[in-house]
Structure 1
Amino acid sequence: MRAERGPGGRTRITRLRSDGPLALRESGGAVYVVGAGAGPLGGDDLELSVEVGPGARLDIRSAAATLVLPGRAGAGASRLAVRAHVAAGGRLVVTPEPLIAAAGCDHHATAEVTLDEGAELVWREEIVLGRHGEPPGRYSGRLDVTAGATPLLRHELRIGEDATSGAVLGDARAAGTLLITGADAEPYAEEGLAVLPLAGPGVLVTAMAADAVRLRERLTAGRRRVTP
């Protein structure tokens, strides 16, 4: 997808193309990722390219939670790679609904975001460890953000089938992060929540919780501590 600043400062979606189990639809000033089929399934290899032009604003959401499932025997892992570039003065907001790592899945998600001078980014990720009453599958997610030529964030989360053991996430069934660039906050921590200022400037909010509802509440509480 590509967003460009049009006449009068209004953002226009000038390119929107998709195929496979995830479809892209423009609605209400945002682009929604919509499930067009089951998945991602084991063996799926998906890529998403995002371009935000100078001064443009792009909001990416999802219509519902994403359920990651195992594929047929021997299909291997599923993969989703996102590459995004935000030009000078542009703003990208990515706030999808949670990803659910169903039992037996093996999913690898990577995102590489480059920000030009004056560009802004809000990026939220929420992971739920399995459906109700089942153990989680395997999940690994990595977010790399570079501002100009300077690394702003290198963040990775790996969850295995033993994620709910006391040595990993305890009794938490959901984990998430919220990155806000061009912002600041005082360092803060409480049970299940941490607010970490970056050198960029920027702020990374991390949270764990027993379920997706409580996770969202904690991420929202962390965001209230962030100042523009």
Structure 2
Amino acid sequence: MHATARIRAREDGRGGTSLPVLESDGPLALRRTRGDQGEARVMLVGAMSGPLGGDRFAVEASVERGARLRLGSAAATIALPGQLKDEARYDVRIDVADGGELHWLPEPLISAKGSDLHVTTRVDLAPGARLVLREEQVLGRAGEEPGRLRSRLVVRVGGRVTLDQELACGPGAPGGWDGPAVLAGRRAVGQLVVVRPEFAERPVSARVLADSATLVPLAGPAALVTAVAKDGLRLRRVLDEALNFLA
């Protein structure tokens, strides 16, 4: 199955944010919820199981000048094996104009045994844009070995690459992914990217935030928190604390 959901946020001239494009597709259903303080809020609701083997899903979000959008999901996304043995793909493409702001805060992605998923998130920000982006990946359900998961996150600010990183886990991944230099036996991994114009003049300081989480400044007005944890609940707690620290 191929499906693409599209969102466009625009400042409405009255201090709020309108959504001239809110386009669901197949299993990717978008629902606007109540926002506040000029912010539009949208939830991504999975109308079917997946992605399954061979599926091609995409979410495209565009935030125009002065608009504010908070985008989340109603439940975890579970990558499952399908009748086709091909890999599934899930692509997220984000563009934020100068003066725009986006919070991309989905629920975790769970890699179930036998699945094969490639996730790519690409973010293009104007120099004066703001971003809060959280990614959480859980390797296997309770008591289950993970499927194959490859994820790539690319963030550009003003056309320049601020972050470009890739992680591969599960069967067929390069050796050592579960070793002490990477996950060290933990089954949940996540990251938090915060981009704010003021970080260009006052960058954050690198530090350890928890036993298994670090905060580092990135090139440009950005900061990255990387964390691993025993499970998704502990991972969310660490990332929430990191976001409160950066607030």
Gaps of 5+ in 2: 1-6, 36-40
Q: 1:23 maps to what in 2? A: 29
Q: 2:38 maps to what in 1? A: none
Aligned to 1:88, the other structure's residue is in SS state coil
Instruction: Look up the equivalent residue of 1:7 and give its one-letter code.
Output: G
Contact 1:145 1:154 in 2 (8 A): yes
Contact 1:99 1:126 in 2 (8 A): yes
Aligned to 1:3, the other structure's residue is in SS state strand
* Structure 1 segment 55-74 matched on structure 2, within 5 A: 55-72=66-83, 74=84
| 2:184 is the counterpart of 1:170 | yes
Instruction: Look up the equivalent residue of 1:200 and give its one-letter code.
Output: G
Instruction: Look up the equivalent residue of 1:175 and give its one-letter code.
Output: V
Alignment equivalent of 1:195, drawn from 205, 215, 229: 215
Residues paired across the two proteins, number: 226
Instruction: Look up the equivalent residue of 1:84 and give its one-letter code.
Output: I
**How far apart, CA to CA, are the structure 2 residues paired with 1:8 and 1:216?**
35
Gaps of 5+ in 1: none
Contact 1:194 1:222 in 2 (8 A): no
* Structure 1 segment 74-113 matched on structure 2, within 5 A: 74-113=84-123
Instruction: Look up the equivalent residue of 1:23 and give its one-letter code.
Output: A
Change over 3 Å in CA distance of 1:203–1:167 after alignment to 2: closer
Q: 1:141 maps to what in 2? A: 151
CA RMSD after TM alignment = 1.6
Aligned to 1:84, the other structure's residue is in SS state strand
**How far apart, CA to CA, are the structure 2 residues paired with 1:41 and 1:62?**
18
**How far apart, CA to CA, are the structure 2 residues paired with 1:221 and 1:50?**
26
Instruction: Look up the equivalent residue of 1:207 and give its one-letter code.
Output: A
Aligned to 1:89, the other structure's residue is in SS state coil
**How far apart, CA to CA, are the structure 1 residues paired with 2:236 and 2:221?**
24
Instruction: Look up the equivalent residue of 2:45 and give its one-letter code.
Output: V
Q: 2:241 maps to what in 1? A: 221
Q: What's the CA shift for 1:225?
A: 3.5
> Which stretch has the larger CA shift, 53-62 or 24-33?
24-33
Contact 1:21 1:40 in 2 (8 A): no
Contact 1:109 1:141 in 2 (8 A): yes
> Which stretch has the larger CA shift, 14-23 or 199-208?
14-23
- Moved segments of 4+, more than 6 Å: none
Q: 1:7 maps to what in 2? A: 13
Q: 1:48 maps to what in 2? A: 59
Aligned to 1:219, the other structure's residue is in SS state helix
Q: 1:35 maps to what in 2? A: 46
Q: TM-score, normalised by structure 2?
A: 0.86
Q: TM-score, normalised by structure 1?
A: 0.93
| 2:135 is the counterpart of 1:129 | no
